[in-house]
């Protein structure tokens, strides 16, 4: 074999260092196009028929704006609640041992397996005026069911596993030696949490927050039962899209869907940017 031929052979070997990369990459692009890109593009193409003025006229209607504000606002509140209490739950599961721990750990995944309609019915039965919990809250002036508060409760329920399951592995991999070293250097418990543990889990917290927020924005089944679905009060955007489809107003439905996609993508882009920034900052520390 000549040196030139040997060199060409080595170059071909280097190019195929990942076996089947071309095939798997092509399959991935085709699959994502069929499942994600083409359906989302269809929404924007259908909305483009309205023109910018028609699109703006639809999404600036009072009922549509209130539905969008409610969907994104309640999803943001629920994701923030889960970002706090999900970390606490993950911390307890990782750092403490107690009777029934495995059973409670399994219950965290229940919202994944439970049909959303069943969750909505169960929450409504609990928090309605005659429910097990609602009958004690309403005399105190705390009405949960058939109000935006009920929507927050439902979204918190379905979004909790996302935060717990993203933070828990990071806490399990955290080295206890770092905490011991911080304590030996005179750091108290809160300083150790703020300067050693928290920077390491911030990216996973943001990931869980983003997943819980995305789930909350598009949630339908668990919300429509407890929300009450009053226009301009407790009507979420996904329900308004369904109503427009039932009225054969396909242009209005796609315009609302496109508005939700734009806002969701923008917010997720910001969250991903924060993830990258926090990860780089933690690496520097």
Positive or negative CA dihedral for 116, 91, 166, 78? positive
Are 123 and 15 in the same domain? Answer: no
Both 123 and 242 in one domain: the answer is: yes
Report how far residue 173's alpha carbon sits from residue 189's, in angstroms, rounded to the nearest whole number: 19
Q: Is the confidence at residue 21, as pLDDT, over 90? A: no
Q: Quick one: 182 and 78 in the same domain? A: yes
Examine the fold and report which residue of 30, 48, 66 is the final residue of a domain before the chain moves on: 48
- What pTM was computed for the model? 0.82
pLDDT band of residue 15 (cuts 50, 70, 90) is low
Residue 91 and residue 2 share a domain: no
Domain boundary among 9, 24, 48: 48
Task: Give per-residue burial for 135-172: e unless 16+ CB within 10 Å, then b.
Answer: eebbeeeeebbbbbbbbbbbbbbbbbbbbbbbbbebbe
CA angle 196-201-203, nearest 5°? 130
C-alpha 9 chain-centroid distance: 48
For 126-173, give the secondary structure using H, E and C.
HHCCCCCCHHHHHHHCCCCCCCHHHHHHHHHHHHHHHHHHHHHHHHHH
Q: Do 92 and 227 share a domain, yes or no?
A: yes
What is the count of structural domains for the chain? 2
Q: How confident is the model over 24-33, as pLDDT tens digits?
A: 777 788 888 8
Q: Which CATH number fits the domain that encloses residue 194? A: 1.10.3720.10
Chain position carrying tokens 């999803």: 75
Same domain, 30 and 55: no
As a whole number, mean pLDDT of residues 187-197 equals 72
Quote the domain boundaries for residue 125: 51-284
Give the torsion sign (CA, 92, 96, 97, 102): positive
148 and 269 assigned to the same domain: yes
Q: Are residues 57 and 17 in the same domain?
A: no
- Residue 35 confidence class, pLDDT cut points 50, 70, 90: confident
Identify which of 149, 273, 158, 254 has the alpha carbon closest to the alpha carbon of residue 207: 273
* Residues 74, 167 within the same domain: yes
Mapping DSSP onto H, E and C, the string for 240-258 reads: HHHHHHHCCCHHHHHHHHH
Interval 52-80: pLDDT, tens: 888 899 999 999 999 999 999 999 999 99
Domain boundary among 48, 64, 87: 48
Tell whether the torsion through CA atoms of 39, 41, 45 and 47 is positive or negative: positive
Q: Which token pair is 199?
A: 């920077």
Structure tokens that stand for 145 in this block: 């069911």
Residue 269 confidence class, pLDDT cut points 50, 70, 90 = confident
State how far the Cα of 215 lies from the Cα of 204, in Å rounded to an integer: 16
125 shares its domain with 28: no
Residues 14 and 56 in one domain: no
Note whether 180 and 251 are same-domain residues.
yes
Instruction: Specify the pLDDT at position 94.
Output: 87
Cα 71 to Cα 215: distance, rounded to the nearest angstrom = 11
Give the phi and the psi of residue 174 in degrees, each rounded to 5.
Answer: -65, 135
Cα angle 93-96-97, degrees, rounded to a multiple of 5 = 95
- Nearest Cα residue to 217 out of 250, 253, 265, 255: 265
């Amino acid at each position: 074999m000549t040196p030139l031929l040997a060199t060409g052979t080595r170059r071909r070997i280097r190019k195929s260092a990942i076996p089947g990369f071309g095939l798997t990459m092509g399959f991935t692009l085709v699959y994502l196009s069929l499942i994600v890109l083409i359906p989302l593009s269809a929404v924007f193409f259908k909305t483009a028929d309205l023109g910018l003025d028609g699109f703006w006229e639809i999404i600036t209607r009072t009922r549509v704006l209130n539905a969008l504000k409610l969907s994104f606002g309640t999803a943001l509140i629920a994701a923030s609640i889960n970002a706090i209490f999900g970390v606490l739950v993950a911390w307890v599961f990782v750092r403490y041992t107690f009777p029934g721990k495995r059973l409670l750990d399994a219950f965290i995944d229940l919202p994944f397996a439970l049909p959303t309609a069943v969750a909505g019915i169960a929450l409504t039965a609990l928090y309605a005026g005659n429910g097990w919990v609602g009958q004690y809250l309403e005399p105190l002036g705390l009405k949960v069911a058939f109000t935006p508060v009920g929507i927050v409760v439902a979204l918190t329920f379905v979004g909790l596993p996302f935060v717990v399951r993203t933070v828990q592995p990071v806490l399990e991999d955290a080295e206890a030696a770092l905490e011991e070293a911080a304590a030996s250097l005179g750091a108290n418990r809160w300083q150790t949490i703020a300067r050693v543990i928290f920077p390491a889990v911030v990216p996973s917290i943001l990931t869980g927050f983003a997943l819980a927020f995305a789930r909350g924005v598009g949630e339908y089944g668990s919300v429509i039962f407890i929300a009450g679905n009053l226009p301009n009060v407790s009507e979420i955007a996904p329900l308004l899209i369904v109503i427009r489809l039932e009225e054969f107003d396909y242009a209005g439905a796609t315009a609302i869907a496109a508005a939700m996609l734009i806002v969701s993508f923008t917010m997720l882009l910001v969250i991903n940017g924060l993830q990258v920034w926090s990860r780089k900052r933690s690496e520097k520390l």
